Amino acid sequence: MKRKMISPETPADDIRAGRPERYYDYVYKTYGKAFRSGSMEGLETFRELYRQVFTLGNEQSTILFIEKFVPLLPADARRKILVEFVAERRAMESRSPEENAQRKEELLSPKKTVG
C-alpha cells in the first residue's frame, strides 16, 4: 500500500512561493467549465480567485494564473476584466503605499453577505 504524502503547505503558501501549479490544477478542474461558460457566477469566481492571487503578491503566480485561466473566458469577459484590471492598476499608482496596504486588507477580508 502506498502512503499518500500530505503537504503541510496551504495553497496560499504555494502561491506566495511562486509554485501554484497544484492549486491551479484544482481550480481548473473545479471552475474551468464555469469560466468557459461566461456566466455571471463564473466571472465572479474568476475575479475573486484572481483578486486573491494578486493580493498575495507573487508576480510569477499572478502571471501563471492569467496565462492559464484568461484564455478560458469568452472574449467579451476578457475585455471587461482587462478594463477592470487596468483601472485598478491606475488607482494603485495614484494611492499612497498606506492606502494600497489598506486596500489589500479590504480585498483579503472575507466578503460580507447581505441578508
Which stretch, 34-38, 57-61, 81-85, has highest mean pLDDT?
A: 34-38
Range 59-72 average pLDDT: 92
Give the whole-angstrom CA distance, residue 42 versus residue 61: 21
Give the number of other Cβ atoms within 10 Å of residue 95's Cβ: 13
Answer for the pair 94, 86: CB distance below 8 angstroms, yes or no. no
Give the whole-angstrom CA distance, residue 51 versus residue 42: 14
* Beta strand residue intervals within the chain, DSSP E: none
Higher per-residue pLDDT: 84 or 31: 31
List the chain domain ranges: 11-108
pLDDT at 6 over 80: no
pLDDT at 73 over 50: yes
Answer for the pair 74, 38: CB distance below 8 angstroms, yes or no. yes
Amino acid 113: pLDDT = 45
Higher per-residue pLDDT: 108 or 37: 37
Give the whole-angstrom CA distance, residue 96 versus residue 101: 9
pLDDT at 17 over 50: yes
CA distances (Å), 32 to each of 18, 46, 105, in order?
Answer: 21, 10, 28
- In the structure, what pLDDT confidence band is assigned to residue 85 with cuts at 50, 70 and 90? confident
Residue 31 CA neighbour count, 13 Å, CB half: 25
